Amino acid sequence: MRQLLSDKERCGKIVLVTAALITWLLILISFKYYGYNETWLLWKVPVNSPQFLDFRLIPGSAESYRQGFEPTIKNPDDPAGRIFNYPAFWRLFFYTNINEDDTVWISILMIVLFFMSVLVFPDHLKVQDAIMMLLVMFAPASMLLYERGNVDLIVFVLCVLIVIASDYSATIAAALLIFAAIVKMFPFFGASVLLREGRVKFSWLFSICLFAIVSYVYITIDSVRASWNLTQRGSEFSYGANVLITRHQQEIMPILTPWFSNASARRVLKYGPPMFGTIVLIFICFFILRSGNASLVVNSERNLAAFRMGASIYVGTFLLGNNWDYRLAFLVLVIPQLMEWIRSTHGRQKVIVYISMTALLYSCWQFRIFDFSSQQFFEGSRIFWLFFDDLLNWLLFLDLAYLLFASMPDWVRDLLPFISPKMESVQSP
C-alpha cells in the first residue's frame, strides 16, 4: 500500500514537470512560427512593447540614476517614462551596471526560477492535483505575469523558500519572511506559515518579524509612501475589495453626493469596501466557524504551509484594494491542500472547498472566459460579466478566509474559544 501511494505521488510530480516542459516548448514554437504577440493573445493577454515591460522599470531607473536623475521624480530612461515606484530594496540595483540590455535574460531567469519553485514545493501530489496546478500555472492571469516580467516572480520564489524552510527551521523561515517583506510588503501576510510552531515560539517569531518590518517601513517611509501612491490600480484585469468601486465609481458617486460632500464620498468609496471586508473577516472568525464540528484532515504540513501562504496573500491583498490579476499566480500554492480537502471533507465544508476551487479557476481564467462571455448576447452583458467576476472574487476571499480560520492549530482555537471546526493533522500512511 505504501509503495502504491508513493508511486501515485511520484506520477503526480512527473505529470507536473513533463506537462510544464511540453507546454513551454509549444509556447516557444508558437513564438517562432505563429508570432510573439499573437501567441500571448491566445490567452487574451494584452501585449506591451518592449518585452518584459514591468521589469524594465528597474534597469531603466538605474540608467536614469547613473545619469544624475532621481527616478522617483524624473525617469527618462524608462521605456514608458514611468516614475520609479518600487520599495527601497530595489534601489540597490542603481549601484550596479544593470541596463536595458539585461532585461531579457534576467526576466527569463525569473520565469525559470518561478517554475522550479512551483515544481518543487508540493508534497503528496496526485495526478489530478498536478492537472489543477497546471491550469493555474498556464492561466491567463499567470501568463500576464510572465509576459510583463514582473518582479512578483522573484517574490513567489521567496514565498516558496519560506514554505520549504518551515519544514526544517522556523528561524530561517522567519528570516526569509522578513527579507521577502522588504523586497515587497505583501509576503508578510504569509506569516501564518509560522502558526505550526506553537503559541510561544510563534509569538516571539512573529514579534521579531513585525518589529523588523515596522522598523524598515519607518526608515524607508518615503519610499513606501511613494510605492503605495504611485502604483497604478487597474479595474479590468484586477481583483480586490475596491475593484467594483473603481469600475463603477461614476455611477455610484451620484448616489452618495446627496448625503456626502464630494471629498467625503470619495473617502467612503476608497475605505468602505476594505472596512466591510475586514468586518466580514471578523464575522467569519467569531461566528460562522463556531457552528461547524467536522475536522479538516491534513496529510502534509508542507502543503498546509503552502496553503496558508497563498491564501493569506490573497486575503490580505484583497483587503488592500486593487491588485493586478497576475498576482493570482500565487494561488497555485493553495491547490495541493484544496485538492486534499476535496477528497477528505464532507457536507458544508466540501461545498466551500468546491466553491473556492471554482472561483479560483474562474478568476485565473477570466481574461479568456470574459472574452467569450462578454459577447453582446444581451444589452449590458459586459457589465453583467464584470459584476460576476467581482462576485466570484468576493466568494474566493470569503472561502479562503474560512478555510484559513478552520485550519488553525489547536492553540489558536484555545485562545479563540468560539472558533470551530477543529483541524486534525493526520500522518501519511
pLDDT, mean of residues 289-317 = 83
What pLDDT, on a 0 to 100 scale, did the predictor assign at position 5?
47
Q: Are 179 and 213 in contact (CB under 8 A)?
A: no
Asked whether residue 408 carries a pLDDT value surpassing 80, the answer given is yes
Question: Phi and psi dihedrals of 423, rounded to 5?
Answer: -100, 135
Least confident piece of the model among 33-42, 216-225, 230-239, 295-304:
230-239
What pLDDT, on a 0 to 100 scale, did the predictor assign at position 411?
77
- Buried (b) or exposed (e) across 84-105, using 16+ Cβ within 10 A? bbbbbebbebbeeebebebbee
Task: For residue 47, give the DSSP letter.
Answer: P
What pLDDT, on a 0 to 100 scale, did the predictor assign at position 286?
67
- Using the structure block, give the residue that is written with the C-alpha cell 527618462: 76
Looking at residue 258, its amino acid is P
Residue spans per domain, the chain: 2-425
CA 402 vs CA 53, 191, 199, 278, 280: distances in Å: 37, 17, 21, 13, 10
Q: What is the pTM (predicted TM-score) of this model? A: 0.88
Nearest CA to 338 among 350, 353, 349, 327?
353
What pLDDT, on a 0 to 100 scale, did the predictor assign at position 426?
45
What pLDDT, on a 0 to 100 scale, did the predictor assign at position 420?
47
Question: Phi and psi dihedrals of 223, rounded to 5?
Answer: -65, -40
Asked whether residue 83 carries a pLDDT value surpassing 50, the answer given is yes
Cell numbers at 37, concatenated: 504577440
- Using the structure block, give the residue that is written with the C-alpha cell 534597469: 59
Asked whether residue 305 carries a pLDDT value surpassing 50, the answer given is yes
What pLDDT, on a 0 to 100 scale, did the predictor assign at position 37?
92
